[in-house]
Structure 1
Amino acid sequence: MAVTINAHQLGLLIDKTIGHIGGEYTVPLNGIRLDVDAAFLYAVASDRYTLAVARYRLLHDDQNGQPFARLIPAEYLQSLREWISSQAGSTYISISAEDHYLEFGGTHTELRIGVNPDLEYPDWRGLLRTMTQRDTEDAPFPALSADFMSRWAATGDNLRVRVTADQKAVLVFGEDFIGAQMPVRYAGVGPMKDETFDAVRQQWEQTLAAGADGLDMATDMPAEDDWPRYEVTKDVYETGGDLLQQVLRSNVDLHNAGGTSSPEFLAHATAGVHAWMAYRFLDALHTADPRFARTIVAEVAEQLDSGEIGEWAWDAAKEAGHNPQQWHDEYEAHLNKRAAEKAVAAEAAA
């Protein structure tokens, strides 16, 4: 089946959802899913914690084809967005789904993206259907500006929200933080400018009716795959846990090492000591400045993932006024001396 949408609208679908895609270790969510039914083209994205759906009403000629759904992998989204931007906004783009690729056709160029047709995606219709069917009688339904909501990201906190009434401010609470956001006067949604929750829910009733009942994002989203051992978390809490786990593991390994002078014993002792030092430093930094601690943990994770920590350490030593070349030479001399002593010992034993 092929559907058509103008370039401007297709770009909007991607822009509205791309910030919600999951990470590479949750493969079914690592991208934007294009989902077509009899009336709409949907762009769907989720990272297990947020779920975003944007839709575009199809032209009448497109409404007689067969539905399809494919996940556009995250690695192709930038090139797709750039290709869309190269088209005039009013240009109609055709989207067709084959077994293992999506084809986007413009006026003069085409773009093919490889996809996995067998990839299972969460029942997003069912998840949202369950949420919209919960009792909402007399519940406030204020309209909040998305531009204003983004300002709360600077707190860096997990925020609690208290909705009081439609035309009253929404309260926001964080760690040592309180705030409020006024609703906007324009509260309409959709072409009829509906202002009540029931009216807005009816706009999506036909779409969500195809979903299952009783689903919950807490239990019905794909589980995250195991991270490779070299992957470094950017989360302060997880980083602290990893460091403490390393300390405890090193203590166990110390007892299994072959004597206090063995290389294994020294390696485990060094790993445990340094992990404990790193944890104490991180804990102190997070207590003094949680935002800066998150920044440092994220930067260190990227440096470790790059595999170039030797270069980072060399440059840092020089910037701090040390002489890394001297350290290198002294350590090489130490290793050569140990090698010579082992050789002499081996000859004497022979």
Structure 2
Amino acid sequence: MSVTSNAHKLGQLIDKVQGHVGDKHIEVLHGIRLDIDATDLHAVASDRYTIAAARYRLNYGDQRQEPWARTIPGSWLKPLREWVNSHGGGDTITISTETGRVDFTTAHTEIRIPVTDDQEFPNWRALLRGIAAEIPTIYAFPAIDARMLTRWADTGDVLRVRVTTDQKALMVFGEDFVGAQMPKRYAGIGPCEEETFEQALALWPHLFTDDGDTADMATDMPDENKPRYEATSSIPDMVESLLQQTLRSTSDMLGAPSEEPGAMASFAIAGVNAWSAYRFLAALHKADPRLATQTVADLAEELDAGDFSETAWDIAEAAGHDPQKWADDYEAHLKKLAAKRAAEAETQPATSQPADA
């Protein structure tokens, strides 16, 4: 099973969707899906929150082949893109699949990429059909310059977008930000004033069909498989984690045995620290969202590195404190507590043993 493309078009396919590749915690999304059907070579990527599909029209002539799809792992995307870029734009690249791999071949060289043949991937066609099915065909359909959309990233905020009509600006709203963007006069497919949503759907006749399955991105995407020890670099995820820890610690504290005051104190301290961290993060995000985002990202790297205890020691010394005295005092406290418990155990009456039968 093979298809051909020139190097320029294949490079374009990779570039158009690479920004949507999921991270390593979602294995099935950590890569680009090559999906071949009767008419097109598709490159598809998704990170659960966005999904992008680019296509290249194939020229089969009178021949047809069985559709096939394989996911190029994320770790191979950079080597593949560099290999493609090493060729002239007009060089023909044959893409073929063998058991356990996908081969990219030219007249003089090739690259073989190991893949998992039976690896599942979200039904991207059904997901896009499900979204399109909920949009009225009379919906305003302005053409937006994708290069201008990146300008809104500097707001460092969650934005809401309101589309009005085809020839009017769309509105952008954030908690502390508001703006607008004018549409382009030419959509790249046809003049804006002549193109409707129905006409755009008709450009993908094999995708947006009435009898096709539909899916929902909110419920039909794979879950993350993030290790517990790995810190989050996302503010929403950290907020959720801190609030969960606050409630969990409070619940554990109320359920702790009364004869173990140390356990109760530990749960109380954990809850207080989690709530304090949440309040500080919320205040920082309100005052400076970009600084809050960068701080959470830096914190994730420090926690994952695992050397924050040594860093805290250095910072304490630089601030004029004596961390060694803190450690000695805490060690003395633990020894005193252990001696107290040992003394209490000796004063307890011995439990009577049952007589042998």
Pairwise same-fold verdict (TM > 0.5): yes
Separation in 2 of the partners of 1:234 and 1:91?
41
* Cα displacement (A) at 1:199: 2.7
Amino acid at match of 1:276: W
Unpaired segments ≥5 residues, structure 2: 347-357
Separation in 1 of the partners of 2:136 and 2:163?
13
Higher-Rg structure is: 2
Identity level (%): 48
Separation in 1 of the partners of 2:79 and 2:42?
20
* Cα displacement (A) at 1:310: 2.9
* Equivalent residue number for residue 247 of structure 1: 246
Q: Secondary structure at the match of 1:102?
A: strand
* Equivalent residue number for residue 302 of structure 1: 301
**3-12 or 83-92, which moves further after superposition?**
83-92
Separation in 2 of the partners of 1:311 and 1:211?
61
* Cα displacement (A) at 1:144: 1.0
* Equivalent residue number for residue 103 of structure 1: 103
How has the CA–CA distance of structure 1 residues 159 and 341 changed in structure 2, closer, same or farther, with 3 Å as cutoff? closer
The answer as to whether partners of 2:122 and 2:222 remain within 8 angstroms in 1 is: no
Separation in 2 of the partners of 1:66 and 1:314?
63
* Equivalent residue number for residue 232 of structure 1: 231
Q: Secondary structure at the match of 1:48?
A: coil
* Equivalent residue number for residue 129 of structure 1: 129
Separation in 2 of the partners of 1:143 and 1:173?
19
Separation in 2 of the partners of 1:295 and 1:97?
42
How has the CA–CA distance of structure 1 residues 99 and 286 changed in structure 2, closer, same or farther, with 3 Å as cutoff? same
In the superposition, the TM-score normalised over structure 2's length comes to 0.82
* Cα displacement (A) at 1:61: 5.9
The answer as to whether partners of 2:137 and 2:197 remain within 8 angstroms in 1 is: no
* Equivalent residue number for residue 187 of structure 2: 187
The answer as to whether partners of 1:140 and 1:164 remain within 8 angstroms in 2 is: yes
* Equivalent residue number for residue 93 of structure 1: 93
Separation in 1 of the partners of 2:169 and 2:339?
79
The answer as to whether partners of 1:253 and 1:268 remain within 8 angstroms in 2 is: yes
**41-50 or 301-310, which moves further after superposition?**
301-310
* Cα displacement (A) at 1:312: 3.7
* Cα displacement (A) at 1:145: 0.5
Q: Secondary structure at the match of 2:116?
A: coil
* Equivalent residue number for residue 168 of structure 2: 168
* Equivalent residue number for residue 353 of structure 2: none
How has the CA–CA distance of structure 1 residues 37 and 63 changed in structure 2, closer, same or farther, with 3 Å as cutoff? farther
How has the CA–CA distance of structure 1 residues 330 and 141 changed in structure 2, closer, same or farther, with 3 Å as cutoff? closer
How has the CA–CA distance of structure 1 residues 334 and 105 changed in structure 2, closer, same or farther, with 3 Å as cutoff? same
* Equivalent residue number for residue 73 of structure 2: 73
Q: Deviations over 1:195-250 (max 9, x none)?
A: 3333332221124449833433233x223145322122223233223223323333
Q: Deviations over 1:307-342 (max 9, x none)?
A: 332344345446x4446xx52476258638966996
Tell me the matched-pair count: 343
How has the CA–CA distance of structure 1 residues 289 and 257 changed in structure 2, closer, same or farther, with 3 Å as cutoff? farther
Amino acid at match of 1:22: G
When the two chains are superposed, the root-mean-square deviation of aligned CA atoms in Å is 3.4
**123-132 or 163-172, which moves further after superposition?**
123-132
Unpaired segments ≥5 residues, structure 1: none
* Equivalent residue number for residue 292 of structure 1: 291
* Cα displacement (A) at 1:27: 2.7
Q: Secondary structure at the match of 1:64?
A: coil
Q: Deviations over 1:7-28 (max 9, x none)?
A: 2211111111111122333332
Separation in 2 of the partners of 1:316 and 1:206?
61
How has the CA–CA distance of structure 1 residues 64 and 284 changed in structure 2, closer, same or farther, with 3 Å as cutoff? same
* Equivalent residue number for residue 327 of structure 1: 323
Q: Deviations over 1:14-71 (max 9, x none)?
A: 1111111223333322221000112211001112222111001123369533321011
* Cα displacement (A) at 1:303: 1.9
How has the CA–CA distance of structure 1 residues 307 and 341 changed in structure 2, closer, same or farther, with 3 Å as cutoff? closer
Q: Deviations over 1:118-170 (max 9, x none)?
A: 22222222232344455644432221111111111222333222222222222
Separation in 1 of the partners of 2:226 and 2:174?
30
* Equivalent residue number for residue 84 of structure 2: 84
Structure 2 counterparts to residues 1-150 of structure 1, below 5 A: 1-60=1-60, 64-133=64-133, 136-150=136-150
In the superposition, the TM-score normalised over structure 1's length comes to 0.83
How has the CA–CA distance of structure 1 residues 132 and 163 changed in structure 2, closer, same or farther, with 3 Å as cutoff? same
Q: Secondary structure at the match of 2:121?
A: coil
Separation in 2 of the partners of 1:137 and 1:330?
69
The answer as to whether partners of 1:126 and 1:213 remain within 8 angstroms in 2 is: yes
How has the CA–CA distance of structure 1 residues 175 and 111 changed in structure 2, closer, same or farther, with 3 Å as cutoff? same
Amino acid at match of 1:222: M
Separation in 2 of the partners of 1:158 and 1:345?
54
* Equivalent residue number for residue 349 of structure 2: none
* Equivalent residue number for residue 268 of structure 1: 267
How has the CA–CA distance of structure 1 residues 329 and 101 changed in structure 2, closer, same or farther, with 3 Å as cutoff? farther
Separation in 1 of the partners of 2:236 and 2:31?
26
The answer as to whether partners of 2:94 and 2:104 remain within 8 angstroms in 1 is: yes
